[in-house]
Amino acid sequence: VIADLRRERRGATFDIWDLTTAIYGGQEALDMIDKQTRLVMQEPRLQTDDLWWMSRKERYIRACERGELFVKIVRENNIPFEERYPLELLLGEDLFILLHDVMFAPTLMNLADEEQQGWWLQKALNYDILGTYAQTELTHGSNVRGIKTTAEYDENLFEEGGWHIHTPSLEAVKWWPGGLGKSCNCCILMARVIIKGKDYGPHPFFFQVRDWETHASLPGIELRDIGAKLGYNGMDNGAMRISHVNIPRRNMLMKFVIVEKDGAYRKVGDDKMLFGTMTYTRLKISSGAGFNLAKAVTSTIRYSAVRRQFQMQRVVLGADIDNHLDDDEKDALASQDQLKLLVKPSKRTEAQVLDYSSQQFIIFPQLALAFAMHFAGQEAGKAYDAALLEFRASKFDALTEMHVLTSTLKAVSTVLMADGMEQCRKCMGGHGFLNAAGVGPQYLSALPQATYEGDFVVLSIQVGQQLLNAVSSKMMKGKKSNPKTPSLQYIYECDPAKPSLPPKAAELDSLLQNHDFLMAALKSRANYIHFTSAQTFQEEVAAQGKMGAETLDTVKIELMRMTYAHAYVLYSECFPKLFS
């Protein structure tokens, strides 16, 4: 280990293992991750030092090899499905297995009824079938309700009725599903349900796309790889065009919606659960945002600790030597004596880049943010697990809270992650531009997370509307809380008419080290943005004489600011929960 790194590590004022345990969610989780790390380290083919110079074709082949090794490790060590996520991160590469585990299998768990799970779920958990999630189309991504792929019901198909699946236009071609290009043999297909001419909107279907034995595309299904991307090239993102393909009636996932043989359509529970996979996926994306930023921060801090550049402080500048010495002293001055005049004794070697305040100003906030986003993701995961138990018991009170929570964290954390990783790359100077430095390729592979499964603007509109609803409920209806959105309680507790006095200057230093004060400040800022934005919105409604999409569009910038402010409140609230 380089001496500079050793010295920095020894200077820590906290117990490293206590922090490590907190990062990974407790001793039991840390032990599990340590075991999986050892399994990966024992397999030379899972090393990642060859990824940065490979061609796209070679990288995909290596991804397939990694996928095969992943399945082998899972089977040989009987790793339960819920414990596989750390192992996926340890693969060090984005590949088709991730879409299978994050979107395909969870959709079967949460949206398929018991009989349907008996057909497909165990095969999915054992990787006997490989699936992905085909929702996004060439011209419809975030607007899920606008997708055009159709599933028209025909009770005369098969013995129990069936669906006629079709891509009606070029715009409706499924576009972007990871693993669809070459790897997967089935998918969860989102298509518009049409029964006797009535459009019921998008619903999920189990849809086979390739032959189980030969892996050839099935008749009527055209599959393509969509080509090279800026990053994320271990993943074979694909496109699919469907031409008049028939599937059985029971291939529609029917836990929350049932279509009978005669075409009768009925709901079981809340049909918003049909989009529950998006909630879970946003949770997983936001949970990984802090981890991605932490990787970049780690590389940059280590680089900054060993990279030395310039002397920190000069005592006498070279141009001043003529004024500082007489002629005899100049003649006698040796090179070592000149060095002693130029710098203080403790600074006679080049300084660590990490010691410069300008470097700390950029890196340290990213370090803190990585912790904040990581811990927020942990807390969101706990909340989701608790809510999922209620959903499975047909209790849906937590649905709005989960939507607001996961949408906020996904929208904001991924943008902050991408911006932070790029800041870290630039802090490594010219070396940061090398693939071998690691940060650049990691940044490009993480970058699409800011876009897929809902980009910042779209999600901030949804979150902002819920924040506006909370302000309206308090100010116009006099409500003091909403049990369905506990994370918005700070809005109900705010009194916008109460004057807010700044702290005294003499108390400021101690207050800035007080977490309660900092959290109150973030809530105060958020409430100011929420309430002033609500006032602006009401003024627009009054000016236009109605409330609609056009009115909402006039305050989109405010909704984005509200979402950012709310995210920072969520980040701040996770620290006391973690360390209490």
Mean pLDDT, residues 137-161 taken together: 92
Which tokens hold the place of 106?
């969870």
pLDDT value, residue 366? 97
Residue with tokens 């005049």: 341
Rounded to an integer, what distance in angstroms lies between the CA atom of residue 437 and that of residue 307?
13
Does 136 belong to an annotated binding site?
yes
Residue 510's pLDDT band, with cuts at 50, 70 and 90, is very high
What pLDDT digit, counting tens, does each position of 213-266 carry? 999 999 999 999 999 998 888 999 999 999 999 999 999 999 999 999 999 999
Q: Which helix (H) or strand (E) holds 259?
A: strand 257-259
Q: Which residues pair with 308 in a beta bridge?
A: 352
Rounded to an integer, what distance in angstroms lies between the CA atom of residue 497 and that of residue 492?
13
From the candidates 401, 453, 558, 573, give the one annotated as an active-site residue.
453
Mean pLDDT, residues 33-50 taken together: 91
Q: How far is CA 514 from the centre of its chain?
A: 29
Check whether 268 has a pLDDT greater than 90: no
Q: Phi first, then psi: what are they for 242, rounded to 5°? A: -110, 125
In sequence order, the 6+-apart residues with CB closer than 8 A to the CB of 31 are none
Determine the angle formed by the axes of helices 456-477 and 399-427, rounding to 10 degrees.
130
pLDDT value, residue 335? 46
Angle at 539 between CA 534 and CA 543, to 5 degrees: 150
**Is 333 exposed, middle or buried (CB count within 10 Å of its CB: 0-12, 13-18, 19+)?**
middle
pLDDT value, residue 331? 53
Rounded to an integer, what distance in angstroms lies between the CA atom of residue 424 and that of residue 502?
34
End-to-end CA distance of the chain: 35
Check whether 142 has a pLDDT greater than 90: no
DSSP label of 101: I
Q: Which of 312-326, 409-423, 476-490 has the highest mean pLDDT?
A: 409-423
Rounded to an integer, what distance in angstroms lies between the CA atom of residue 303 and that of residue 440?
14
Rounded to an integer, what distance in angstroms lies between the CA atom of residue 169 and that of residue 436?
44
Mean pLDDT, residues 55-61 taken together: 91
What rounded mean pLDDT belongs to the chain? 89
Rg (CA), the chain: 28
Q: In terms of Cα–Cα distance, which of 108, 161, 103, 166 is closest to 132?
A: 103
The domain spans of the chain are 130-268, 279-310+350-450, 456-579
Which tokens hold the place of 303?
């680089």
Check whether 148 has a pLDDT greater than 90: yes
Return the percentage of the chain with pLDDT > 70, whole number. 93
Check whether 47 has a pLDDT greater than 90: no
Which tokens hold the place of 73?
């490790």
Angle at 450 between CA 445 and CA 456, to 5 degrees: 175
Rounded to an integer, what distance in angstroms lies between the CA atom of residue 475 and that of residue 384?
30
Collapsing DSSP states into helix, strand and coil, what is residue 265? Answer: strand
What region, left, alpha or beta, does residue 425 occupy, with left being phi > 0 and alpha being psi -120 to 50 degrees? alpha
Q: In terms of Cα–Cα distance, which of 243, 242, 265, 256 is closest to 155?
A: 265
pLDDT value, residue 426? 96
Rounded to an integer, what distance in angstroms lies between the CA atom of residue 289 and that of residue 60?
24
**Is 451 exposed, middle or buried (CB count within 10 Å of its CB: 0-12, 13-18, 19+)?**
middle
Check whether 397 has a pLDDT greater than 90: no
Mean pLDDT, residues 330-341 taken together: 50
Rounded to an integer, what distance in angstroms lies between the CA atom of residue 448 and that of residue 451?
5
**Is 329 exposed, middle or buried (CB count within 10 Å of its CB: 0-12, 13-18, 19+)?**
exposed
Which CATH class name applies to 279-310+350-450?
mainly alpha
Rounded to an integer, what distance in angstroms lies between the CA atom of residue 20 and that of residue 86?
15
Does 25 belong to an annotated binding site?
no
Rounded to an integer, what distance in angstroms lies between the CA atom of residue 444 and that of residue 435?
11
Check whether 135 has a pLDDT greater than 90: yes
**Is 438 exposed, middle or buried (CB count within 10 Å of its CB: 0-12, 13-18, 19+)?**
buried
Active site residue 28: no
Check whether 328 has a pLDDT greater than 80: no
Report the predicted TM-score, pTM, of the whole model to 2 decimal places: 0.87
Least confident of 165-174, 527-536, 542-551: 542-551
Asked if CATH classification 3.50.30.10 holds for the domain at 130-268, the reply, yes or no, is: no
Q: Where are the beta strands (DSSP E) in 404-461?
A: none
Residue 314's pLDDT band, with cuts at 50, 70 and 90, is very low
Q: Where are the beta strands (DSSP E) in 123-234?
A: 131-134, 150-154, 162-166, 174-175, 186-195, 198-208, 221-225
pLDDT value, residue 574? 85
Q: How far is CA 461 from the centre of its chain?
A: 18
- Angstrom CA distances, 80 to 27, 122, 187, 248, stand at 18, 12, 22, 31
Sign of CA dihedral 481, 484, 487, 488: negative
Rounded to an integer, what distance in angstroms lies between the CA atom of residue 519 and that of residue 574?
10
pLDDT value, residue 326? 54
Rounded to an integer, what distance in angstroms lies between the CA atom of residue 423 and that of residue 364?
11
Contact predicate 540/558, CB 8 Å: no
Contact predicate 380/408, CB 8 Å: no
In sequence order, the 6+-apart residues with CB closer than 8 A to the CB of 439 are 295, 296, 299, 300, 421, 424, 425, 428, 432
Check whether 579 has a pLDDT greater than 80: no
Q: Phi first, then psi: what are they for 494, rounded to 5°? A: -80, 140
Q: Which residues pair with 192 in a beta bridge?
A: 150, 202
Mean pLDDT, residues 266-284 taken together: 82
